[in-house]
Structure 1
Amino acid sequence: MRTDLTSFQYNILVILTSLDEVSGRHLKQELEESVESPLPHGRLYRNLDTLVDKHLVDKGTIDGRTNAYAITEQGEDAIRERLQWEREHVETELASS
């Protein structure tokens, strides 16, 4: 499992799994709705750049000036690994309760 990602970065990847190429603005709205809290503009884009650098997210353009983001196969693999890790830990904990 990847241990170099923050919870916020995983949240970005999870949101991107349900969206096709999306603008940063739309992604920001989706994240704000899921946490019911405003999200500082810079926080999102710093983390998106990190995910792009790690090849977990692709960055393109929509209209030549608006950035578009999409999860990569490696990003999907990171989510699958995280879900498997969570399942193993939750099942172990619940089984011992």
Structure 2
Amino acid sequence: MYDLTGFQRDLLYVIGGLEEPHGLALKEAIQEYYKKEIHHGRLYPNLDTLVEKGLVEKGKKDKRTNVYKLTSRGRRELEARREWEQQYLEEL
């Protein structure tokens, strides 16, 4: 997880929070958080990186639509990140 960008980590959280999200759903959710338009040229290469790192699985919903799902490793990485963050947030 340490080698991911903040955008990639945010994508992991969104993927984990949605049921079988497709690219457009991810784009809409992340745009809502970032409060600006996220272009395909930013979204899909970052999703591909998460797939290559084994954190996300990419599957087909139909001929035109891919769906994304956290792998077991992706879920473990998010849980570890949450624990790491929590140790610093407890002091707030």
Which residue of 2 is the match for residue 56 of structure 1?
55
Equivalent residue number for residue 81 of structure 1: 80
TM-score (normalizing by structure 2): 0.91
Structure 1 unmatched ranges of 5 or more: none
> Percent of counterpart pairs with the same letter?
42
Deviation at 1:17, TM superposition (A): 1.2
Q: Secondary structure at the match of 2:13?
A: helix
What TM-score do you get using the length of structure 1 for normalisation?
Answer: 0.86
Aligned to 2:12: 13
The CA distance in 1 between the partners of 2:88 and 2:33, in whole Å, is: 24
CA RMSD of the aligned region, Å?
1.3
Equivalent residues, number: 92
The whole-number CA distance in structure 2 between the counterparts of 1:22 and 1:86 is 25
Q: Match of 2:21?
A: 22
Consecutive aligned runs of 4 or more in structure 1 exceeding 4 Å deviation: none
- Cα separation, 2, equivalents of 1:72 and 1:38: 27
Which residue identity lines up with residue 18 of structure 1 in the other structure?
Answer: G
SS at match of 1:38: coil
The one-letter amino acid of 2:48's match is D
Which sections of structure 2, spanning at least 5 residues, go unmatched? none
Q: Using the TM superposition, give the Cα deviation of residue 82 of structure 1 relative to its aligned residue in structure 2, in angstroms.
A: 0.8
**How far apart are 1:36 and its partner, in Å?**
1.6
Find the aligned partners of 2:5 and 2:89 in 1 and give their Cα distance: 20
Deviation, structure 1 residue 30: 0.8
Q: Which has the higher Rg, Structure 1 or Structure 2? A: 1
